[in-house]
Amino acid sequence: MSQNISSTTGNDAALQLEIAELMVQALNLEVSATEIQSDTPLYGSGLGLDSIDILEIALVVSKRYGLQLRADSENNHHIFSSLRNLTEYVAKQRTR
């Protein structure tokens, strides 16, 4: 069952909203950050992002949170599969 950001608790919700806002701004998405569901796929039928969009997200997230996202990482498919997974990765890896 999908949940929106407002139904996530505490710091996770704040970080998730912050990342969603970064995505909306970086990609000029026509949805608001609060409309992005935690479990909505970022690729394809979810938000409809393509590989170039994912690279843009990786760049802004890396700069904002001081973490390294490598293009050749085996985990990228999982990390970028949903807002929730991206948020969990950032929460564990961030240096800022």
Q: For all residues of the chain together, what is the average pLDDT?
A: 88
Report percent pLDDT > 70 for the chain: 90
> At residue 23, does pLDDT exceed 60?
yes
Task: Give per-residue pLDDT as tens, 45-91.
Answer: 889 999 899 999 999 999 999 998 887 888 999 999 999 999 999 99
Break the chain into its structural domains and give their ranges. 5-93
**pTM of the prediction?**
0.85
Long-range contacts of 9-13 (CB under 8 A, 24+ apart): 11/91, 12/87, 12/91
The CATH fold of domain 5-93: 1.10.1200
Taken in order 92, 67, 78, 72, the sign of the CA dihedral is: negative
Query: Which amino acid does the sequence have at 21?
Result: E
